[in-house]
Amino acid sequence: DNFLSVLFQNPKNQGQFAGIRTVVACEGSEAHLSCGKVTGFTGAKYGRSDRMTCSYGIPAEQTKNTNCATRQNPCFRSTECEGRSACDVLASSAVFGDPCVGTYKYLEVLYLSWLPEKKSLVACEGTVARLHCGKVTGQAIYVTSATYGRTDKKTCSAGRPADQLENTECFTYAEEVGERCNGKQWCKVKASNYVFGDPCYGTYKYLEVEYICYGEFRLSLH
């Protein structure tokens, strides 16, 4: 099969490529498709290319033709999907045409899976940390690590007296960041003793956050 080339727009700002997933909707059933530019939708075909897929309870004569498949883009072919980022599409000859009359067919959809993009940021004491995943519709923040304090002498050191940078074993886990930001597309948190407490009086501190953007790709059958 070479129908991966039907449609592919490499998602911007995505993490590591994790693989290709296949979803099949037997003739007469509906597939819920994600059709946006960053959903990872790669290509699709309608017809039959093997005897096993969607063969349960189907007469043998309706599955023997395995040279019956046409390339499709259900996101554009179906009127229900036009201009939408997600939609329900019926796997039927009425939608995709009938490449082989008398054969029981199926819609096969391929899409790319990407590991969530990892992001990190540092906000010096007194400034605001801004977390965001909103550039891609459907993405949300999940904080994997957040600390407030100081663990090295270089970070947020410009213009600071040496005695405010000496203590590098000074930090507290900033759980408030996850409590405020998880599940949102964007979020801001001030790096301050008022928010996180003061783990080391007299030391100039900073907030260090690591997070991922998740929830880009959703594809299911029903």
Instruction: Tell me the pLDDT tens digit for each residue of 144-202.
Output: 999 999 999 999 999 999 999 999 999 999 999 999 999 898 999 999 999 999 999 99
pLDDT at 127: 98
| Mean pLDDT on 87-96 | 84
Residue 56: phi, psi to the nearest 5? -65, 125
| Residue 172 CB burial class (10 angstroms; 0-12, 13-18, ≥19) | middle
Which residues lie closer than 8 Å to 131 by C-beta, 6 or more apart?
Answer: 119, 121, 141, 143, 177, 181, 186, 187, 188, 189, 209, 211
| Model pTM score | 0.54
Q: Which of 35-39, 111-115, 167-171, 205-209 has the lowest mean pLDDT?
A: 35-39
Q: Which two tokens stand for residue 29?
A: 């059933």
Q: Do domains 3-114 and 117-214 have the same CATH topology?
A: yes
List, in sequence order, the alpha helices (H) in 66-182. 74-77, 93-96, 175-181
What is the architecture, at CATH level 2, of domain 117-214?
Sandwich (2.60)
| Percentage of the chain modeled with pLDDT above 90 | 51
What is the architecture, at CATH level 2, of domain 3-114?
Sandwich (2.60)
| Strands of 117-219, DSSP E | 117-124, 128-132, 140-150, 170-173, 186-190, 206-214
Residue matched to tokens 């980022």 = 85
Tell me the domain boundaries of the chain: 3-114, 117-214
pLDDT at 3: 34
Q: For residue 67, count other CB atoms closer than 10 A to its CB.
A: 10
Q: Is the pLDDT of residue 137 over 90?
A: no
| Mean pLDDT on 122-135 | 91
